[in-house]
Amino acid sequence: MSMDSFIIEALQVLLVIGLAPAFAGWVRTLKCWFQGRSTPGLFQPYRDLFKLFSKEVVLAYNASWIFRFTPYLLFGTAVLAGGIIPILSIDLPLAATADVIVLISLFAIARFFLALSGMDIGTAFGGMGSSREMMIASLAEPAMLMAIFTVSLVNKSTSLAEIVQVIYSGQLILRPSITFALIAFILIILAETGRIPVDNPATHLELTMIHEAMILEYSGRHLALIEWTSMMKLYLFVCLCIAAFAPWGIAVKGSLAALPAAFGFMVAKLGVAGLIIVLIETGLAKMRLFRVPEYLGVAFLLATLGMLSFFILD
């Protein structure tokens, strides 16, 4: 645990906080290009956040401390998760405090409190959003776990730093199990971060909302923090996917000299990931709510097939 690793950790956390809106902006820009609209620019999310920060916060009369505390908790857990996933380098002091299962549970805490704050004010929309979100989360968990199980079977560990190292030191093998797990993981990312085909992040119709319905009552700075958190969540899930499946480019040594190259690789991979996300989002339509269990069932099936293929074919 040298001084270098702490600097790397700090840099990575700042990068997560600072770059997540840019990634969200990239996804939105690509979507505009695909849909033939003109784009407001890559940095529009920053402008939106800035605007929200300067606005007044309006709270309902009966908002409890949970409602006011949740935005900070969400932001905090996302930042903490950003310090655990190897994005630039695996030499992170915090990476040893949590493995992949703990990471998923950190996101689960955030979701728990967000669902509670959806129910806090006592409107019908908030309860609806919470109820739908918890249903989707409960079906996404087994699929996510199966995908992680497959990855950890192949790499013999659940610690992300270790997984990256094993992939680096091994040969480049095209395994069906990892491919299935990867496809399942992509499907899960779309469900967990509330993208099409599970949830439309840009919808204005309350009855079609899932994530947005829980945050309808938030305004001003609170809303800015929550929006920032959801951008960070997308960013972090994509980085998790990259770290578990395609980590080439992440620095394995602890020196600061390797960081610029790692940064360049990360930007390139994020660009490609954004493209894949937008292709899927543009090509599919949002499913009705009770088709989502089938979708997640397909994800679970693929992950299970990946696990079975590992034993059967290897």
Q: How far is CA 223 from CA 43, 161, 164, 171, 229, in A?
A: 18, 33, 35, 46, 10
| Residue type for position 236 | L
Among 15, 22, 32, 109, binds another protein (CB under 8 A): 109
Q: How far apart are CA 30 and CA 273, in angstroms?
A: 11
Among 4, 42, 127, 203, binds another protein (CB under 8 A): 127
Least distance to another protein from the beta carbon of 260, Å?
Answer: 27
* Residues 225-284 within binding reach of another protein (CB under 8 A): 225
Q: How far apart are CA 205 and CA 32, in angstroms?
A: 20
How many other C-beta atoms can be found within 10 angstroms of the C-beta atom of residue 274? Answer: 21
Among 2, 35, 138, 255, binds another protein (CB under 8 A): 138
Among 23, 149, 235, 237, binds another protein (CB under 8 A): 149
Least distance to another protein from the beta carbon of 11, Å?
Answer: 16
Nearer to another protein, 3 or 65 (CB): 65
Among 1, 14, 102, 268, binds another protein (CB under 8 A): 102
Least distance to another protein from the beta carbon of 298, Å?
Answer: 7
Nearer to another protein, 3 or 124 (CB): 124
* Residues 176-195 within binding reach of another protein (CB under 8 A): 176, 179-180
Question: Which residues, listed in sequence order, are joined to residue 89 by a DSSP beta bridge?
Answer: 251
CB 234 within 8 A of CB 193: yes
Q: How far apart are CA 221 and CA 204, in angstroms?
A: 21
